[in-house]
Structure 1
Amino acid sequence: MSTEGTIPFTVDGETYHTWYKLFGDLKTCTKRPVVFVHGGPGMSHHYLLPNQYFYHQAGIPVILYDQIGGGASSHRPDAPTEFWVPELFMDELDNLTKALGIDDDFGLFGQSWGGMLAAHYAASRTPKGLRRLIIANSPASVALNTQGTDALLSKFPDEYITMMRKHEAEGTVDSDEYQDGAMLFAKKHTCTVDPWPLDLLKAFEIFKKDMTVCRAMLGPYEFQTTGNLKDWDITGILHNVACPTLLISAPLDQIQEVAVLPFFQKIPKVKWVELQDSTHLAQYEEPEKYFKVILDFLENTAPVS
Structure 2
Amino acid sequence: MSPPTITENFVDFDIPQAGKPCKTWYTIYGDLGTSKYPPLVVLHGGPGMPCNYLKPYGQLASKSLIPVVLYDSIGCGNSTLLPEKRGDGTFFNIDLHMNELDNLLKGLGIEDEFNLLGHSYGALLGAWYAATRKPQGLRRLILQSGPASLPLWDEAQMDLRYQLPKELQDILDQHEASNTTDSPEYKEVVAEFTRRHVCRIEPAPKELQETFDAAARDPTVVLTMYGDHEFETNGTLRGWSSINELDKINIPTLIMNGRYDTAQDKVMKPFFDRIPRVRWIQFSESSHTAHLEIERERVMEVVIEFLTEDV
Scaled by the length of structure 2, what TM-score is found? 0.94
CA–CA distance in 1 between the matches of 2:12 and 2:179?
A: 38
Kindly report the root-mean-square deviation, in angstroms, between the aligned alpha carbons of the 2 structures: 1.3
Q: Does the 8 Å CA contact 1:45/1:65 hold for their aligned counterparts?
A: yes
Counting only pairs closer than 5 Å after superposition, residues 57-96 of structure 1 correspond to structure 2 as 57-79=63-85, 80-82=87-89, 83-96=91-104
Equivalent of residue 149 in structure 2, options 141, 146, 154: 141
Residue 81 of structure 1 aligns to a residue whose secondary structure is coil
Equivalent of residue 12 in structure 1, options 16, 25, 33: 16
Equivalent of residue 235 in structure 1, options 205, 222, 243: 243
Runs of 4+ in 1 over 6 A off after TM superposition: none
Q: Does the 8 Å CA contact 1:41/1:217 hold for their aligned counterparts?
A: yes
- Alpha-carbon deviations, 1:8-28, whole Å to 9, x = none? 111126431000001122222
CA apart distance, 1:45: 1.2
Q: Does the 8 Å CA contact 1:240/1:267 hold for their aligned counterparts?
A: yes
* Structure 1 gaps, min length 5: none
Residue 217 of structure 2 aligns to a residue whose secondary structure is coil
Residue 75 of structure 1 aligns to a residue whose secondary structure is coil
CA apart distance, 1:201: 1.0
Q: Does the 8 Å CA contact 2:37/2:308 hold for their aligned counterparts?
A: no
Q: Does the 8 Å CA contact 2:10/2:24 hold for their aligned counterparts?
A: yes
Residue 255 of structure 1 aligns to a residue whose secondary structure is coil
Q: Does the 8 Å CA contact 1:112/1:138 hold for their aligned counterparts?
A: yes
CA–CA distance in 2 between the matches of 1:199 and 1:219?
A: 23
CA–CA distance in 1 between the matches of 2:99 and 2:180?
A: 35
Aligned length: 302
Give 1:12's aligned amino acid. P
Match of 1:219 in 2: 227
Match of 1:38 in 2: 44
Q: Does the 8 Å CA contact 2:46/2:226 hold for their aligned counterparts?
A: no
State yes or no: 1:269 paired with 2:273: no
Please, which moves more after superposition, 91-100 or 73-82? 73-82
Residue 104 of structure 1 aligns to a residue whose secondary structure is coil
Equivalent of residue 191 in structure 2, options 183, 186, 191: 183
State yes or no: 1:54 paired with 2:60: yes
Match of 2:305 in 1: 296
CA–CA distance in 2 between the matches of 1:121 and 1:70?
A: 20
Q: Does the 8 Å CA contact 1:43/1:70 hold for their aligned counterparts?
A: yes
Give 1:22's aligned amino acid. I
- Alpha-carbon deviations, 1:49-98, whole Å to 9, x = none? 11111101111110000011111000100114212111111110111011
Give 2:179's aligned amino acid. G
Match of 2:288 in 1: 280
CA–CA distance in 1 between the matches of 2:302 and 2:111?
A: 25
Q: In percent, how many aligned pairs have the same letter?
A: 39
Residue 247 of structure 1 aligns to a residue whose secondary structure is strand
Structure-2 change in CA distance of 1:176 and 1:220 (3 Å):
same
Scaled by the length of structure 1, what TM-score is found? 0.96
Give 1:251's aligned amino acid. R
* Structure 2 gaps, min length 5: none
CA–CA distance in 2 between the matches of 1:135 and 1:104?
A: 21
Structure-2 change in CA distance of 1:54 and 1:74 (3 Å):
same
- Alpha-carbon deviations, 1:176-212, whole Å to 9, x = none? 2222111110000011111111111111111110111
CA–CA distance in 1 between the matches of 2:183 and 2:145?
A: 28
Residue 202 of structure 2 aligns to a residue whose secondary structure is coil
CA apart distance, 1:277: 1.1
- Alpha-carbon deviations, 1:220-276, whole Å to 9, x = none? 111011101101100000011121100001221011101100000000110100110
Match of 2:201 in 1: 193
